[in-house]
Amino acid sequence: MEHDSKVADDLRATGWIGHLRATVALAIPLAGASIGQMAINITDTVMVGRLGATELAATVLATQAFFLLFIFGVGFAQAVMPLVANAIGRSDAAGVRSSVRMGLWVLALYAAAVMLPLWHLEAILLALGQEEKIAALASDYMRVAQWGLLPALFTMGLRSYLAAVGKANVAMWMSFALVGLNAGLNYAFIFGNLGAPALGIVGAAVASIGTKLAGALWLFLYTHRSRDLRSYDLYARFWRPAWPAFAEVVRLGWPIGLMVVAEVGLFTATSVMAGWLGTIPLAAHGIALQLTSVAFMVPIGVASAATVRVGIAHGRGEPVAVARAGWTAVLLAAVFGGVSALVFWLTPEPLVALFLDSDDASAPDVVRAAIPMVYVAAAFQIADGIQAVSAGMLRGLKDTRIPMFIAVTSYWLVGLPAAYWLAFVADVGAVGVWLGLAVGLTLAAVLLTRRFAVASRMPAPHAAAAPPAPAPAP
């Protein structure tokens, strides 16, 4: 339990500056891991794009379908983080072990459940009106790539565990290494290099599986063999159920998954709206979206750090530490959002130009259309970061259902209608779509932060109880 106690004590006896340092130290590797994953996705798009527009379109459709089901499953992986953090706060090694074990069980069952729709992707795409050739190619890709879903979800579950126990740097370095491995596997199996067969789009799927399996194996070996984590004995009695922990992962996980899907769906819906306005607005929208996605990686890291640190304080029944851990994360999100806003505001044209070929005749039109969108993105950078971090803080309190309703209401009942009204009724155009995004994200930030302000003043249910002694594995 030495490592367990150290993680909890690091949070306990620190003032505001100590909380700030600890949150930054945890958020950096968490953001780094997310950036590494984004680099993998970009590499896939660039290398498949060399096969042609048809293959790229098919891969985009297949990966979007995969991502939609994957990101909902990640909700169960993220549920592991506050459960482990709470158990650490209680000095409960058995609770850590059972939470991770049941989290992996839930992820395995979820992966098995969604294999069927992924296998029949071609029929689904045809029913949605996609071209036969593209649907067939997407299905060829998916029937290989879908076998990577389970290791991908296991990786996310173990990343949540490592974040909670203060080992997020392991996942970050793994993510960076996998960027190179993925590029090498794509180079070999897509184009037939290094003695491998040229499999085209299917080769990209083979590379994807290889990368995901390598990541899952890396984290399994580390969590199994690390001396620092030996006290948790994570894989002891792995096949023994702990049904209360299983139910808790499901209870916390599905609202997290739905909340993330709601946010991703909001941006997807606004892309559809931008497409109604024409090719140039859609291209400009896509570039502005890429810029905000890159900037969003840091708030994601801060949000996960907030989940861990609030969760440990909540597990110890220390409301002062809960509040300080949370508001420190909000401050970080606001500061970084301000910096991002300043960069977007001062250098919109060079940023947009990074995504365009200067020899393309349409490039100046895309730049002119994208710059106002980047200005609006600058305006909501602070709100976007705060709403993400506030959701992370509430997860640390094991509060996920009401935040999910807040997010769905803010995004879909306020933000999306506002985007439509501004773009098409008020005739503001594509910039109106982005103003609607700003409205939805700002409302979510206000409501989620307010909920944390109230919840953080409430003592944990077990606050008056003494921390339990380490228990045997359940």
Query: Does residue 13 have a pLDDT over 80?
Result: no
| The pLDDT value given to residue 37 | 85
Query: Does residue 53 have a pLDDT over 80?
Result: no
How many CB atoms neighbour CB 207 within 10 A? 30
Residue 471's φ and ψ, nearest 5 degrees, are -105, 160
| Average pLDDT score over the chain | 88
Confidence of residue 473 (pLDDT cuts 50, 70, 90): very low
* Rounded Cα–Cα distance for residues 396 and 89 (Å): 11
Average pLDDT over every residue of 312-325:
90
Give the number of C-alpha atoms closer than 13 A to the C-alpha of residue 426, restricted to the C-beta side. Answer: 14
Helical H segments across 130-197, by residue range: 132-145, 149-164, 168-191
More confident residue, 87 or 289: 87
pLDDT digits (tens, 9 = 90+) for 146-183: 999 999 999 999 999 999 998 999 999 999 999 999 99
| The pLDDT value given to residue 3 | 52
pTM, rounded to two decimals: 0.86
Query: Does residue 32 have a pLDDT over 80?
Result: yes
DSSP single-letter state for residue 130: -
pLDDT digits (tens, 9 = 90+) for 358-393: 677 777 888 888 899 999 999 999 999 999 999 999
| The pLDDT value given to residue 133 | 86
Query: Does residue 353 have a pLDDT over 90?
Result: no
Cα–Cα distances in angstroms (integers) from residue 174 to residues 79, 161, 165, 304, in the given order: 22, 15, 17, 18
| The pLDDT value given to residue 465 | 40
Least confident stretch, 305-309, 354-358, 452-456: 354-358
Nearest 5°: CA angle at 298, between 340 and 420? Answer: 65
Confidence of residue 467 (pLDDT cuts 50, 70, 90): very low
Confidence of residue 395 (pLDDT cuts 50, 70, 90): very high
Structure tokens at 268: 């997807």
Query: Does residue 214 have a pLDDT over 90?
Result: yes
* Rounded Cα–Cα distance for residues 266 and 440 (Å): 9
Query: Does residue 145 have a pLDDT over 70?
Result: yes
| The pLDDT value given to residue 175 | 93
Confidence of residue 471 (pLDDT cuts 50, 70, 90): very low
